Chain A
Amino acid sequence: MHAITIKNYERIVFASIPTLPYEQFVPVILEELMVNDACHCINYFGYPHDGKIQLICCIANDNEHTIHVTSTITMHGATFPSLTAHRLSFHFFEREIHEQFGIQFTDHPWLKPVRYAYNRADEQQTIANYPFYSIDSEELHEVGVGPIHAGIIEPGHFRFLCNGEQILHLEIQLGYQHRGMEQLFLDKTMLLQRATLAENIAGDTVIGHASTFARTWESLCDTMATPSLQFERALALEHERIAIHTGDLSAMCTDLAYQLGSSVFGRLRTPIINYFQEWAGNRFAKGLIRPGKTNFPFSPSLSKRWHEVIDAFEPDFIEMYDTLSDLPSALSRMEKTGIVNRETASTIGMVGMAARASGLKRDIRSSHPEGWTNITHQPIIKKHGDVFSRVQIRKEEVLQSIGYIKQILEYLPDTNDPILEMQNPKPNSFVIGLTEGWRGEICHCAITDETGNLQLYKIKDPSVHNWLALALSVRNNEISDFPICNKSFDLSYCGNDL
């Protein structure tokens, strides 16, 4: 057996993951596990234990709704041929492994540091001497943007190589936001601390990350969330999607300099996030999701209130969207701007909403459904992969999520379930969990030792896959269209930097 096949959030004994020699590990991944377009790498990371490093690779098969896990054991500073040379989608994971453990991937085309953790293998690599791709030319010029963002959101450095107004190449250097999230999960031993950490992995995906953590933790403890808990999480996840997508539409109108769209979508977002305030006392839903329990049980009065909010929201949202999509000056900015075609999307392993806008069917809600599943999810797919596709998909997903929540509210289960007795995590366990946040697949992975202590908590935000898509999408576009391309992806800096 070359790989163990598991389901989303299924707990397995860690030792049951097969260990292959590296010479066999690579062909198994490339030829046996990644057989077609529906198979993609959801996580590939190093787990240091007993003085060695175990490289664990998780490949999801969307058609069969399964996850294949395989591994290999190696040492610090080893030298290997890379997977990236065959599949570009591994580039980030191998860079991360290289940075953490000093493993050299000889034919990796872009083996650059990712986030400059304090315990990185090569202390010589600092953020100040990042090896930018540069070009020696009289005609071309370089434009460096950042690390301080013009809108003072999050830090990241963008280095453009331009021919006049045209972008030839963009290199994105991140890592400024590194907080040592994964290490903090091990250091902070109280469950509440860890749940709070999970909420703060990426400030715009609170529900996404918190519910992935909660569900991973429950699997680790062999506890099953009650139907009402699952229902609340599904509801909150879809509601977060509505809120963020609407906010993004507003921000994209701002970047188009379309004031009406910017202010109307901005106004529409407010009641949506205010609903979280009514429910959980926080507009970004911090504190709403807790493993095994909830401090804010859903109630029929909240259900009624939700309908009131959405009844006011939906007609205005549709009207504003129709105005935007009929406006020639806005369309001329969005159409054929920042194109990522399906082939590129598949090659670089894009995920989530941006991948679906490029025609790639990647949606955890349909491929690896988990939890509350009375809904048969049909992902929305767009073909063109330009900025306008990503605008359209946001609008359609908002309306789809509204429909889902309406369905969820019809099947409102009894919320007076007994509170779960949270047990301690089971020893020697391995759990991998996937959730479709608004941006795309969130992947958390937990490993415990023989006493049930957390040994590794691996987090992957969907931004990790999609930053490269942004860099490729702006090629041959005008540099003045970069902001609108950037916003159309709306990737997380801190989710990438952890």
Chain B
Amino acid sequence: MISFILMVVASLFISGIIVRTKSVTSGRKGPCIMQPMKDIVRLWKKGSVYSNTTSWVFRIAPTIYFSSILMAMSMLPLGESPGLFSFNGDFVFFAYVLATGKFFNIIAALDTGSSFEGMGASREALFSMLAEPAFFILMGSLGLLTGFTSFNSIFQALHFGSYITYALGIIATFILLMLTMIENSRMPIDDPKTHLELTMIHEVMILDNSGFDLGLIFQATNLKFALYGTLIVNMFLGNLPLYATIPLFLAIQILFGISIGLIESFMARYRMSHNAQFILILSSLSILVLFSVLMLLGKFNS
């Protein structure tokens, strides 16, 4: 329960921190931290406009997308306090609940019949597909290490044993940070600030969304940031008491936002054809985690 509430809180300011960081690094003052959230609230007060060529798929997709994120959030624990529900194999459910949301987003983009949105949908589908093995190999390795298959048990059991697991946590952090960038279509995979449809991935898929629906999609993105941030936090928390986990959670979320802002300020977006290679590198890093786990467990001796 506590993790769910904290994620909602973090989602309120995380994109504000990214925007603010980017403003400061380019020598501008930047908007208030809460400005992106205020924009979302403004959008929520509006109605949506639907094109005549779209069907019910397009109307229902933003809601499904948003609720898939809420569902995924409810499975994540925070240190000792478990998520809203937890069961064996919930990290598989977690990944595919998110995938369902994305699937609806993609078919909604195809539903509009626009060539831009079709292009964006195909890119998003490709990059998500390539990113999937990285997540599963990582979580699977941790499952192997701990002998559990639910988030709650894995994260609690992770740091009994040896300090090497913290090293694994660092690799996992990098993988998760990059997965966040891919899943949220941020730099260096995608440029969320561009106005050029031809280079967009995620932004071009939501060109036809407006008003309340657009607000839902934006807030879903914020929640997704908090979601991945929470995964990272969990890599390090172990069994810390609650009064330590909450400030640590917030601090790591803020750091997370700042580091995304810095990455986006000081590098150019990758060439689209290089993205696939880059994403596959994450899978090979995950395999590195797998091998480390196998070594820790002594599986190579026989």
Decide whether A and B assemble into one complex. yes
Residue of B nearest to A158 (CB): B198
Query: Judging by beta carbons under 8 Å apart, are B268 and A327 in contact?
Result: yes
Q: List 18 extra interface pairs beyond A164-B122, A263-B28, A333-B271, CB under 8 A.
A: A145-B197, A150-B195, A255-B199, A257-B193, A257-B194, A257-B199, A258-B267, A259-B22, A259-B265, A260-B25, A260-B266, A329-B267, A332-B274, A478-B271, A478-B272, A480-B199, A481-B199, A483-B194
Residue of B nearest to A162 (CB): B119
B198-A260 in contact (CB<8A): no
B interface with A by C-beta (< 8 Å): 22, 25-28, 115-116, 118-119, 122-123, 187-188, 191, 193-199, 264-274
What residues of B have a CB within 8 angstroms of the CB of A264 in the complex? 26-27
CA distance A479 to B196 in the complex (A): 11
Q: Among A142, A257, A480, point to the contact of B187 (Cβ < 8 A).
A: A257
A141 within 8 A of B: yes
A-B contact pairs, 6 of them (CB 8 A): A143-B119, A256-B269, A257-B194, A329-B270, A333-B270, A479-B198
- B122 nearest in chain A by CB position: A164
Check B268–A263 contact: CB distance below 8 A.
no
Q: For B26, what are the chain A residues with a Cβ–Cβ distance below 8 Å?
A: 259-260, 262-264
Q: Does A27 contact B (CB under 8 A)?
A: no
A165 contacts chain B at the CB level, 8 A cutoff:
yes
Interface presence of A144 (CB below 8 A):
yes
Chain A residues lying within 8 Å of B115, measured Cβ to Cβ, are: 141-144
Q: In the complex, what residues of B have CB within 8 A of residue A165's CB?
A: 119, 123, 272-273
Q: Are A483 and B199 in contact (CB under 8 A)?
A: yes
State whether the Cβ of A482 lies closer than 8 Å to any Cβ in chain B. Answer: yes
Does A408 have its Cβ within 8 Å of any Cβ on chain B? no
On chain A, the residues within 8 Å of B195 by CB distance are: 150-151
Assembly CA distance A327 to B188 (angstroms)? 13
Report the bound CA distance from A481 to B187 in whole Å. 16
Chain B: minimal CB distance from A154 (Å): 14
A145-B197, A263-B28, A480-B199 known; A256+B119 contact, CB < 8 A: no
8 Å CB contacts to B: which residues of A130-167?
141-145, 150-151, 164-165
Is A257 a contact partner of B198 (Cβ separation < 8 A)?
no
Is B25 in contact with A259, judged by CB distance below 8 angstroms? yes
Q: How far is the CA of A262 from the CA of B23 in the complex (A)?
A: 12
A49 at the interface (CB under 8 A from B): no
Question: For residue B266, which residues in chain A have a CB less than 8 angstroms away from its CB?
Answer: 259-260
Residue-wise interface mask of A (465-493) relative to B, using a CB-CB cutoff of 8 A (1 in contact, 0 not): 00000000000001111110000000000
Q: Known contacts A143-B119, A256-B268, A256-B269: does B197 contact A267 (CB below 8 Å)?
A: no
Q: Decide: A257 near B273, CB < 8 A? Known: A150-B195, A151-B196, A263-B26.
A: no
Task: Tell me the complex Cα distance, A479–B272, Å.
Answer: 9
Q: How far is the CA of A264 from the CA of B25 in the complex (A)?
A: 11
Please determine whether B22 and A480 come into contact, CB atoms closer than 8 angstroms: no
**Across-interface contacts of A333 in B (CB, < 8 A):** 268-271
For window 277-331 of A, CB contacts with B under 8 Å fall at: 327, 329-330
Bound Cα distance A478, B198 (Å): 10
- The answer to whether B198 and A258 touch across the interface, beta carbons within 8 angstroms, is no
Chain B positions within 8 Å of A259 at CB level: 22, 25-26, 193, 264-266
Q: Is the CB of A478 within 8 A of B22?
A: no
- How far is it, in angstroms, between the C-alpha of A131 and the C-alpha of B122 when the chains are bound? 29
Contacts of B116 on A, CB cut-off 8 Å? 143
Which A residues, 208 to 263, have Cβ-Cβ distances below 8 Å to chain B? 253-260, 262-263
How close is A61's CB to chain B, nearest CB, in angstroms?
41
A141 to B195, CA, bound (A): 22
Q: Within the assembled complex, what's the spacing in Å between the Cα atoms of A190 and B122?
A: 57
Chain B contacts of A253 at CB under 8 A? 268
Q: Which residues of A contact B191 (CB under 8 A)?
A: 257
Expressed in whole angstroms, the Cα–Cα distance for A141 and B115 within the complex equals: 8
A9, chain B: closest CB distance, angstroms: 41
CB atoms of B268 and A329 under 8 A apart: yes
Nearest CB of chain A from residue B197's CB, rounded to whole Å:
6
Which 5 residue pairs are nearest across A and B when measured between Cβ atoms? Answer: A257-B191, A263-B26, A257-B269, A258-B268, A256-B268
Find out whether the CB atom of B267 lies under 8 angstroms from the CB atom of A327.
Answer: yes
Which A residues touch B118, using CB under 8 A?
141
Q: Which of B115, B123, B187, B274 has the most CB of A within 10 A?
A: B115
- With both chains docked as a complex, state the minimum distance between the C-beta of A265 and any C-beta of chain B, in angstroms: 11
